[in-house]
Chains A and B, each alone.
Chain A
Amino acid sequence: MRTRFQQGLDELRQKLLKMGGLAEQAVDRACQAYLDRDLTRCQMVLEGETQINISERQIDELAFDLLAMQQPMAVDLRFILAVTKINADLERVGDQAVNIAERVMDMVSLPAVDLPVDIGRMSAAVSAMVRRSLESFIEAKAELAQAVLEMDNVVDRMRDEAFITLVKTMNERPETTRQALDALLVARNLERVADHATNIAEDVIFWVRGADVRHNAPQEGNGQEQPAQRAASETH
């Protein structure tokens, strides 16, 4: 048993979970800020980004050290690769939260108008995707990750609907154009967060099953999924 190596993998896992918590919190805060027109929460999102960026660097450094010093193989190699990719996606999730917060700050500076878009519903769906993708990582469960992939289409449709209704609003009520544009950008940012959650879920599947499911790639080695899955769940 390579104890020091296992400790390194555990530390990497803990750091990524903390990073996941920060990114999830940033999105939730930004969405709540939109719904409540709350500038305090916007400020918290902007300030929280620094910590997310620091975490990203620490995780990359630890992963890099483990790759260089421990020459990981098989499930451990897949785990470290998945962590570095999830790490990058989480940092981008943080960036999207900042974008949303900036849109909200712009909206708050303008008169409040009623817009035909349900950002609350969309943000609930997106938050669920982020949360479940992180749960699939915590529990090393490919089935949970698979469920996240299936939710992505729902969010895409919400974004398309928001686009159609908000463009219509801009045409019919030109005085609300700036607010409608802000809302449209928020919808687009949320859809991007959903894409990052999808990437995270795909990376979890790659780690657990050793199968690349990106861009609907054919699943290889179906017959080998069980041993790989067992190894992933036993050791992490």
Chain B
Amino acid sequence: MGVGIRVENLNAWYGKTQALQDINLNVQANHATALIGPSGCGKSTFIRCLNRMHETTPEARVEGKVKIGEHDAYDGTSATKLRRRIGMVFQKPNPFPTMSIYENVAAGLKLNGYHDRKHLDEVVEKSLVSSALWEEVKDSIHKKSGASLSGGQQQRLCIARALAVEPEVLLMDEPCSALDPISTGKIEELIFELKAQYTIVIVTHNMQQAARVAEYTGFFLLGRLIEYGKTEKIFTNPSDKRTEDYITGRFG
């Protein structure tokens, strides 16, 4: 099951440049939350702080509190252990190119020391079913490499790979920006179904997509969270003039 995320006074820097300023946000468990805002506003940095990927960038640092469920993400727990609970899907599908479909999905489990063949078979199938890819690839999961799939299939393979380690949270950083409308539709349907089991945070530049998949939406601007609330409210009658200007395209 998904868990809620509680962020308090989060600040993040790249060297001397502050990328996030005093972010306070509660992400609801088992819901999809969309983060929108112009390029460079801090939304990707924000989700990278949730799974402690931000600190992997040279000279980057974070201050503040992030609680994933009951656990403090920055209390000394190892980042690897944390990331096991938080799956991530990126803008460009990035399957391991030389591995088969099966090996791609099983990779995370194997890294975590699971080698029982029967167990791996079960998890691979379950994950591919969950990511709505199973029917399309079930006859060739050992023969075909991840890289041989179409872009949309590769992205669903990456989702299956993230789901295989049974995370509680799924972070998606513009997961459909490189996909055609049909593949995008499939991923959006998938997000809708995955909410039952996972907490989803999705960064997107496509506002219609945010409106379609997310119950909550946050608007970031210049490193600050300007407005956060129910998606229908944000897109029909936002409270802040800056949100209104951004979503109606009056910026600049």
Residues of A within 8 A of B (CB): 1-2, 5, 71-78, 210, 221, 223-224, 227-228, 230-231, 235
Instruction: Tell me how far the C-beta of A12 lies from the nearest C-beta in chain B, rounded to whole angstroms.
Output: 15
For residue A228, which residue of chain B has the nearest CB?
A: B237
Is B244 among interface residues, defined by CB-CB distance under 8 A?
A: yes
Q: Beyond A74-B247, A74-B248: 19 further Cβ-contacts under 8 Å? A: A1-B251, A2-B250, A72-B248, A73-B207, A74-B235, A74-B236, A75-B244, A76-B248, A77-B235, A78-B236, A221-B233, A221-B239, A224-B237, A227-B240, A227-B244, A228-B237, A228-B244, A231-B244, A231-B245
Are B249 and A231 within 8 A (Cβ)? Answer: no
Q: Is the CB of B108 closer than 8 A to any CB of chain A? A: no
B241 to chain A, nearest CB (A): 5
Residue B76, interface by CB 8 Å:
no
For B241, B247, B248, the residue with the greatest tally of chain A CB atoms inside 10 Å of its CB is B248
Q: Name the contact of B244 in the complex, choosing from A1, A2, A74, A221 (C-beta under 8 A).
A: A74
> In this assembly, does B208 line the interface, its C-beta being within 8 Å of a C-beta of chain A?
yes
Give CA–CA (A228, B233) in the complex, Å: 12
B238 neighbours in A (Cβ, 8 Å): 74, 224, 227-228
- Asked if residues B239 and A1 are in contact (CB atoms below 8 Å), the reply is no
Q: Is the CB of A227 within 8 A of B239?
A: yes
- Chain B interface size range: 10 to 19
A78 to B233: give the CA distance in the assembly, Å.
12
Interchain CA distance A221-B239 in the complex, whole Å = 9
Q: Is the CB of B237 within 8 A of A210?
A: yes
**B250:A235 contact, CB within 8 angstroms:** yes
Distance in Å: Cβ of A79 to nearest Cβ of chain B:
10
B residues less than 8 Å from A71 (CB atoms): 207-208
Verify B248–A73 contact, CB threshold 8 A: yes
Report the minimal beta-carbon distance from A221 to chain B, rounded to whole angstroms: 6
Q: How near does chain A come to B226, taking the closest CB pair, in angstroms?
A: 12
- Tell me whether A73 and B240 are in contact (CB under 8 A): no
Interface: B113 (CB within 8 A): no
Q: B249 — nearest CB in chain A belongs to which residue?
A: A2
**What is the minimal beta-carbon distance from B176 to any residue of chain A, in angstroms?**
16
Docked CA distance A75–B248 (Å): 8
**A interface footprint on B223-245 (CB within 8 Å = 1, 0 otherwise):** 00000000001011111110111
B252 contacts chain A at the CB level, 8 A cutoff:
yes
**Are A231 and B235 touching (Cβ within 8 A)?**
no
Q: How long is the Cα–Cα vector from A74 to B248 in the complex, in angstroms?
A: 7
Q: How far is the CA of A223 from the CA of B252 in the complex (A)?
A: 27
Q: Chain B residues with Cβ under 8 A from A1's Cβ?
A: 249-252
Instruction: Please name all residues of chain A whose beta carbon is closer than 8 Å to the beta carbon of B236 when the two chains form the complex.
Output: 73-74, 77-78, 210
Which residues of B sit under 8 angstroms from A78, Cβ to Cβ? 236-237
Q: Which residue of B lies closest to A224 (CB)?
A: B239
Nearest first, the 6 A-B pairs at minimum CB distance are: A210-B237, A2-B249, A73-B247, A224-B239, A227-B241, A231-B244
A175, B9: Cα distance in complex, Å:
84
Q: Would you give the shortest CB distance from B247 to chain A, in whole angstroms?
A: 4
- What residues of A have a CB within 8 angstroms of the CB of B244 in the complex? 74-75, 227-228, 231
Q: Is the CB of B240 within 8 A of A5?
A: no
Say whether A231 contacts B239, CB under 8 Å.
no
Q: Taking A1-B250, A2-B249 as contacts, is the C-beta distance between A73 and B235 under 8 angstroms?
A: yes
Give the chain A neighbours of B207 by CB distance below 8 A.
71, 73
